[in-house]
Every structure is written in C-alpha cells, then in structure tokens.
C-alpha cells in the first residue's frame, strides 16, 4: 500500500471513530418528546406560547401572500371605493393586531424559556452535588458536564434556542402544505418543479457548508485553548506563579500562536462559505428562471387574471423558502438533539450508590456507631494497583483513632472508604454490623463531620461557612462556641462585621481572605458545628504554625470528647493523644497500638518518630 493510501485509510478510520464517539444515545424524536415533557412539567406556557407564536407567524405570512392579489382583484373587478378602502383597512388592522400579539408572545415566551434553561442548570448542579462520589471524579462525567456548560450558560444554548426551532419547523411544514395546495391548483408540474429544485440546491449547499460542521472539533480545540489562557490570566491562585516565574511572556506567546492557528482555520472556513454563497446565488437564479418562465407560459396559455398570476407568483417564490428553511431547521434540530442527548446522558449517569432507594438509617438511642472494615481491598478505576490491600479495621464507638504513614501509603483513601465516598473493590464496610452499600448513603453521611486537606470555602459569611446554613437557620451561640473551641474566634472578632463578614473576593468586594492556618481553624469550627458522632480530620494541622498546632492538639481531646474520631497525620507527635494508632504502609496496617506501645516496640513507627523528633529539635535549635 502506498503512503498516500495508508494516510487515507487512517483518516477514514479516525473519522469513523469520531462519528461513533459523537453518536447520540437518543434520536431527534426522543429528544423532542423529552423537551416537551420537560417544559410541560415546569412551564407549560412555553409550549402554549410557542403554538400561538407559530399560528401568528403563519397568519402573518398568509396575509402577506394574499394582500396584493386581493387588492388587485378588487380593482380588477371594478368594485366601489369603499370596498377597496375597507379591504385595505381590514388587512392593515390584521397586520397591526398580529404584530402586537407577536411581540407580546415573544416577550412572555422569552421569560419562560429562560426559566426552563435555569431549571436545567439547577438539575445539572443538583446531579453534580448529589451524584455518587466516584462519578464526581470520573473523567467521562466531567467531560459531559463541561460540554453542557456552554449550552446552559448561553441564551443561544439548546434549552432556549430549541423552542424557536420547533416553532419554525411547524411554520415551515404548514406553509409547505398550504402553498403546495395553492400551487397544485394551478398545475401539478409546477408543484413538482417547486419541490425538486430547492431540495437539490439544499443538498449541494449542505455538502459545501459541511466543512465547518465536520471541523468543529478543531475549532473547539482552538477556542478552548484561548479560553484557558484567558481564564489563567485572571486566576487568583495562578497570580503568584505568573509573577514569580515570569509566565506572562509564555502565556502571551501561547495566546498569539493559538490565535494565528485559529485565524488560519477561520480563513479556510470563509473560503468554503464564499463558495457556498456563489452556488446559492447561481442556483437561486436558475430556480427562479425555470419556475417563473413556466408560470408565465402557463398564464398566457390559460388566460389567468393579473391577481391570480400575482398570487401564484408569490406562492411559487415563497414555496422554495419553506422547503429550504424546513431542511435547515431540521439540520439545526439534529445538532440541538445531539446536545440534548449529552445533557440527558449526564443527568442519567448511573448511580453506583443507593440513596433514597437504600434502607434509611434510624439514629441509635445510645448515639453509638461502630464502623467495621472487613477484608477491604481498593483499587482506583483505570488503575492496576491496589491502594488498600485486604485491610481489617474495627473502629469502636467513641474511639480516637490515628492513621499514620508515609505519603502515598493510602491514608486519605482509607478515610474516604470509611466516610463512604468509595465502595471497596473487595470486602465490605459495616455500620453497626450492616453493609453500608445497602443503606441510604445520604443518611450515612449525616453521621460524619470532617476537615479535609483541600479547601472548600464558600463565598458567604463567616457564620454561614461555619454552620453551612442559611442566615435565618443559624444558631449563633453554637457558631461562637465552635469558633472558640477551634481558636478562630479572636480573629473573627477583629473583623468590623464579626461573624457577618463575607469570606472570599469573587462575590463580595469587601470579602476577607484567610491564611491557610486560619482557614483550617474555620473548618475545624465547621466540623464541630455539625455535632456528628464521628469526626474525621485529614491533616488538620498541616497548614498551622507550631504554636497553633500545639493549640489544636491541646483542644483535640476536648473537641472529640464522646465522639468517634479518625485522625490522619504525617506528624507522629500529634497522634500521642489518640487511643490507638495504625501505621499504614502500601495499603496495609503494619503496626498498631498506642503511642507508647509503638515506641516501645521499636518498629517503623518508632524509627519515623525518631527521625521526625530529630529534625524538629534541629528546627527549634536553629
Ligand atoms: P496518602 O494519604 O497516604 O498520602 P493517598 O490515599 O492519597 O495516600 O494515595 C494513595 C495512592 O493512591 C497514591 O499512589 C495515589 O497516587 C493514588 N491515588 C490517590 N487518589 C487517586 C485517584 N483519585 N485516582 C487514582 N489514584 C489515586
């Protein structure tokens, strides 16, 4: 096989693969029904107004069609001046009423369409917030979510634009039937000519315009890149790196390079578009020529009146528009349907966890909850390595457990298994003896309170961040107590608005920014506010200075008094307050006991402790 042939085969396979990837799960009809059902359940008026809008457009079109021939007919028949006047007034009145009604319908249906789009955004946000945790990390799920974003945040996106298309399709189909009826009254050959010519022109044009459709992936690659650079230049987290590492020039050059490529791409698109325009003009000229000549010959041979000729001429020239517009609308609907499919696929992503369908968990009278991990093995999706290996761990109610180990030992993964964010690949996690896979996972989460490593600050007031509630529901006394316990109260009291001070600068101009340590303390206060029976702390002191760290340790037993706690730390000195320590290595428990027991044992924990205390001392002496 020659190189050229090989390249062609490769391109064909790639194209087939791209097509397969783009193939929608639902067809146009299924998606049309879905959108109508969606609107019927939330905003019926959008459907009703769409039908009224369609009837008004059709009426307006028919008035325009009959206006001139009717007036000409009155003159031809030599009717009185008052008849002529009342005919003109009648048409004028009808046109004014239809225009007024159309603008009323447009404004009201626009409001309804925005409501539908916002409802869809809400559904997708809810899905994202409530989906099983593994979905929220799944690349395919996140990719779908990204593709939905453009449709939802743009008023030209599918949830709004599709209604105009439905209405246009109805209009074009009805116009087609009415005009076909009028033209066929004259001559069936004329009817056939009117159908065949625009259909042929449509397919020729479609082939030419297809270029930009087929290359849309390439276009979105350039626009995404440009968008990413634009976002990075204003990203608050990147702001420091941009300055320190002199990334400005690099970003500027990348932007320029991408822009040049994009320009080249647009130039190619414009060439195709211009060719399409030329073909369109020539074909329109030919189409009109053939059909008009036929109509004139027919009129001369059959002695039609001037008003009849005008009516048929209008009908003939309008007819091909119906067909052409219908086909374009249908193509548009196919594209929109593909996007509706993506939204639906995202919303219908299967849930590996049970929620409301699972057994609901009734709170225990004694408030005690045992967690038992039995023969638990866990491997991340698309990975061939077990992160947790046949692990058995019984956490008794009220116990303070510490998990220690080197980076990558599997500590965070283990905590996520305990919290029910992942299900084990093998083995089971039991809550008071029952497999959590059978329980309502949302009920299970209610028993946990946590401080994770990654920050998740809300753009809201300090009090809202601590309570995670809307202002009216907040128990301010409890907020203050938790802030005192976590040690952030002094800082909050320095703010002019105290607990009502907004945090973050994305939404509030007067919002404050907290340091890493202060943020961590605020999260501790949040964890305490929830008053859950099990508290999980994943490296809560990582961002604290030694004094603040010491302060947290001292309060630790107070904070977790009567609660079960799971505490991850890589700093071994911090775990001495715990009832039991497990030392994790390669996803297995390799040592277990109290701090003193493990030191006495002289194993890995003890070795690591010695190394850490040596450097700690060095640090202090230095
Ligand atoms: P530790 O908390 O002890 O530092 P982790 O539980 O975070 O360890 O990570 C254990 C191993 O699992 C690491 O090798 C890490 O690369 C891998 N890992 C962590 N999170 C993911 C993930 N979401 N997908 C795939 N691998 C992961």
Question: Once rounded to an integer, what is the mean pLDDT over residues 425-439?
Answer: 96
Name the residue of 142, 413, 583 to mutate for ligand 1: max ligand atoms within 8 A of Cβ.
413
Model confidence at 621: pLDDT above 50 = no
Using CA positions, which residue lies closest to atom 7 of ligand 1?
412
Question: 412 CA to middle of ligand 1, Å?
Answer: 7
Name the residue of 133, 142, 381, 387 to mutate for ligand 1: max ligand atoms within 8 A of Cβ.
387
With a Cβ cut-off of 6 Å, ligand 1 is lined by 137, 380, 383, 387, 405, 407-413
The more confident residue out of 210 and 539 is: 539
What's the confidence (pLDDT) of residue 218? 76
CA distance 165 to 54: 11
Lowest model confidence (mean pLDDT) among 261-265, 306-310, 399-403: 306-310
**Cβ partners under 8 Å of residue 210, min gap 6:** none
How many angstroms from the chain centroid is the CA of residue 523? 27
**Nearest C-alpha neighbor of 176 from the set 78, 77, 322:** 322
Residue with tokens 């924990």, as numbered in its chain: 605
- The backbone torsions φ and ψ at residue 292, rounded to the nearest 5 degrees and listed phi first, read -70, -40
Candidate ranges 363-367, 545-549, 551-555, 570-574; pick with highest mean pLDDT: 363-367
Model confidence at 10: pLDDT above 90 = no
Model confidence at 622: pLDDT above 50 = no
Using CA positions, which residue lies closest to atom 1 of ligand 1?
408
Helix (H) or strand (E) holding 492: helix 489-494
Name the residue of 135, 138, 141, 380 to mutate for ligand 1: max ligand atoms within 8 A of Cβ.
380
What's the confidence (pLDDT) of residue 226? 82
Using CA positions, which residue lies closest to atom 15 of ligand 1?
408
| Cβ contacts of 90-93, under 8 Å, gap ≥ 24 | 91/63, 91/67
Lowest model confidence (mean pLDDT) among 296-310, 368-382, 416-430, 523-537: 296-310
What's the confidence (pLDDT) of residue 154? 80
CA distance 400 to 534: 10
Q: Which residues of 146-158 are buried (b: 16+ CB within 10 A; e: fewer)?
A: eebeebbeeeebb
The more confident residue out of 499 and 232 is: 499
Model confidence at 618: pLDDT above 50 = no
Residues 619 and 423 sit within 8 Å (Cβ to Cβ): no
How many angstroms from the chain centroid is the CA of residue 252? 29
CA 584 to ligand 1: nearest atom: 3
What's the confidence (pLDDT) of residue 442? 93
Lowest model confidence (mean pLDDT) among 336-345, 412-421, 493-502, 607-616: 607-616
Using CA positions, which residue lies closest to atom 16 of ligand 1?
408
Using CA positions, which residue lies closest to atom 20 of ligand 1?
413
Question: 538 CA to middle of ligand 1, Å?
Answer: 13
Using CA positions, which residue lies closest to atom 5 of ligand 1?
410
CA 538 to ligand 1: nearest atom: 2
Question: Once rounded to an integer, what is the mean pLDDT over residues 145-162?
Answer: 83
Each residue's pLDDT tens digit, 27-60 = 999 999 999 999 999 999 999 999 999 999 999 9
What's the confidence (pLDDT) of residue 619? 45
Question: 374 CA to middle of ligand 1, Å?
Answer: 20
Please give the model's pTM, rounded to 2 decimal places. 0.76
Helix (H) or strand (E) holding 371: strand 371-379
Question: 379 CA to middle of ligand 1, Å?
Answer: 10
Each residue's pLDDT tens digit, 78-90 = 889 999 999 999 9
Question: 388 CA to middle of ligand 1, Å?
Answer: 10
């Amino acid at each position: 096989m020659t190189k050229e042939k090989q390249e062609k085969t490769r391109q064909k396979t790639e194209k087939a693969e791209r097509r397969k990837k783009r193939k929608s799960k639902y067809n146009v009809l299924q998606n049309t029904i879905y959108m109508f059902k969606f609107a019927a359940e939330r905003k019926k008026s959008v459907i009703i107004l769409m039908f009224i809008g369609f009837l008004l457009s059709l009426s307006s079109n028919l008035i325009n069609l009959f206006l001139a021939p009717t007036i000409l007919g009155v003159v031809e028949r030599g009717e009185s001046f008052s008849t002529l006047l009342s005919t003109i007034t009648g048409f004028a009145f009808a046109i004014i009423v239809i225009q007024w009604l159309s603008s009323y319908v447009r404004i009201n249906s626009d409001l309804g369409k925005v409501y539908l789009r916002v409802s869809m955004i809400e559904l997708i946000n809810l899905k994202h917030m409530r989906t099983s945790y593994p979905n929220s990390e799944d690349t395919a799920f996140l990719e779908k979510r990204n593709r939905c974003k453009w449709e939802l945040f743009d008023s030209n996106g599918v949830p709004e634009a599709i209604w105009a298309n439905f209405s246009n399709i109805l209009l074009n189909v009805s116009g087609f039937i009415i005009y076909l009826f009028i033209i066929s009254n004259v001559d069936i050959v004329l009817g056939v000519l009117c159908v065949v010519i625009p259909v042929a022109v449509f397919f020729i044009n479609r082939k030419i315009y297809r270029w930009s459709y087929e290359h849309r992936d390439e276009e979105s690659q350039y626009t995404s890149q440009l968008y990413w650079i634009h976002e990075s230049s204003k990203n608050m987290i990147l702001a420091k790196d941009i300055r320190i590492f002199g990334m400005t020039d690099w970003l500027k050059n990348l932007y320029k390079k991408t822009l040049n490529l994009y320009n080249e791409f647009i130039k190619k698109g414009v060439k195709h578009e211009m060719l399409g325009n030329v073909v369109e003009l020539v074909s329109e000229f030919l189409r009109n020529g053939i059909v008009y000549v036929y109509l004139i010959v027919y009129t001369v041979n059959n002695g039609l009146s001037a008003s009849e000729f005008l009516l048929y001429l209008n009908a003939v020239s309008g007819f091909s528009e119906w067909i052409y517009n219908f086909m374009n609308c249908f193509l548009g609907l196919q594209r929109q349907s593909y996007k509706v499919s993506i939204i639906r696929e995202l919303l219908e992503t299967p849930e590996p966890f049970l929620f409301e369908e699972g057994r609901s968990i009734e709170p225990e009278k004694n408030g005690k909850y045992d967690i038992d991990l039995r023969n638990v093995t866990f491997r991340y999706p698309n990975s061939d390595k077990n992160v947790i290996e046949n692990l058995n761990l019984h956490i008794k109610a009220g116990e303070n457990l510490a998990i220690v180990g080197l980076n990558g030992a599997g500590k965070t993964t283990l905590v996520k298994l305990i919290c029910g964010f992942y299900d084990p690949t093998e083995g089971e996690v039991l809550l008071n003896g029952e497999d959590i896979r059978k329980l309502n996972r949302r009920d299970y989460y209610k028993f946990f309170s946590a401080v994770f490593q990654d920050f998740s600050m809300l753009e809201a007031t300090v009090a809202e961040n601590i309570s995670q509630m809307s202002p009216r529901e907040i128990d301010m006394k409890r907020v203050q107590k938790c802030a005192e316990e976590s040690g952030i109260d002094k800082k909050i009291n320095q703010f002019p608005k105290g607990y009502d001070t907004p945090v973050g600068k994305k939404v509030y101009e007067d919002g404050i920014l907290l340091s890493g340590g202060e943020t961590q303390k605020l999260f501790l206060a949040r964890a305490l506010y929830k008053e859950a029976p099990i508290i999980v702390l994943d490296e809560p002191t990582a961002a604290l200075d030694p004094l603040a760290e010491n302060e947290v340790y001292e309060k630790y037993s107070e904070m977790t008094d009567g609660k079960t706690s799971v505490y991850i730390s890589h700093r071994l000195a911090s775990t001495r307050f715990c009832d039991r320590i497990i030392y994790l290595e390669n996803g297995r428990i390799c040592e277990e006991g109290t701090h003193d027991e493990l030191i006495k044992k002289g194993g890995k924990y003890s070795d690591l402790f010695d190394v850490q205390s040596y450097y700690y001392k060095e640090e202090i002496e230095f």
